[in-house]
Amino acid sequence: MGCRQQGRQKNSAENEKVGKIEDSLGLKQYDCSFFEGILSRLSNSSSPTQFLDYFQKFTKLPFSDAVKSHLISLYSKDSKFLFNDFRVFCILMSKSSEQEKGESLWYIYDDTLKETLFNTQIKEMLSSIIRTSVLFSVSLAVQSLPTDEKLKAWEIYLKERQESLEIKLIKHFTSNQETVTKDEFLLRLNDRPEGLVTSTLGIRDQLERTQVIPNKFANPFKKMKITKLTS
């Protein structure tokens, strides 16, 4: 388990750029409970486009067409909106504290209130967090800053490390056990750096410092291609 310290290293210039793009979306003016109240009213929306139209109406957030298109691209599949993944997005982008975000993330998956999750559910949560931090935020920043070659290279660098970080974080939060209690999960949020998963800046900072875990079955003479992950 990591060290329980609150100190945080300075973010890279690229991470700061992406953070400013996230701030410009306006979600940080609201806390988790605000989004939970709205999302509970929209769970039966018939299409991703209708869902986002209603979401904007109730939140009064002025998403551009480019942002809406990006949200639909990442958070929909087979014409259905990926409701839980979008809830993760809203929680991460909110102004709530780490512990409040942690509890909200927990109850996305603990919908029967058993106070226990299987390691597969923890994996699903962490995967969604990483996807939002990179495939939404960094990709949106690259679209917004199309001439920034350093940012494009940084996006590729982070994507190469997504799977390795996911493995590391799953091990941290589950301790290789089949189930995790809510108290264990919230306690592990306090560890640094692995516990800092309620911050997209923190996730990207961890990705920057993550080494790629070699695939022993990979062909060492074949250049690896980077493909977009989907839910």
Query: For the chain, how many structural domains are there in total?
Result: 1
pLDDT greater than 50 at residue 117:
yes
> 202 with 12: CB under 8 angstroms?
no
The predicted model gives 187-207 an average pLDDT of 96
Q: Of 1-10, 76-85, 163-172, 207-216, where does the model show the most confidence?
A: 163-172
pLDDT greater than 60 at residue 160:
yes
Which pLDDT score is estimated for 215?
A: 59
Question: What average pLDDT does the chain have?
Answer: 89
**Quick check: is 63 in a domain?**
yes
**Quick check: is 141 in a domain?**
yes
**Quick check: is 3 in a domain?**
no
**Quick check: is 221 in a domain?**
no
pLDDT band at 227 (very low <50, low <70, confident <90, very high): very low
> 87 with 39: CB under 8 angstroms?
yes
User: According to DSSP H, which parts of 13-161 are helical?
Assistant: 13-24, 32-42, 48-59, 65-75, 83-93, 98-109, 119-131, 137-144, 149-159
> 35 with 87: CB under 8 angstroms?
yes
**Quick check: is 222 in a domain?**
no
**Quick check: is 138 in a domain?**
yes
**Quick check: is 220 in a domain?**
no
**Quick check: is 223 in a domain?**
no
Cα–Cα separations (whole angstroms), residue 46 to 76, 80, 134, 172? 12, 8, 27, 38
What are the tens digits of pLDDT across the range 47-103? Answer: 899 999 999 999 999 999 999 999 999 999 888 889 999 999 999 999 999 999 999
**What's the pTM value of the predicted model, to 2 decimals?**
0.87
Instruction: Determine the structural domain holding residue 100 and report its residue range.
Output: 13-208
pLDDT greater than 70 at residue 156:
yes
pLDDT greater than 80 at residue 6:
no
> 88 with 129: CB under 8 angstroms?
yes
> 194 with 210: CB under 8 angstroms?
no
DSSP-derived secondary structure letter, 225: P
The predicted model gives 123-148 an average pLDDT of 96
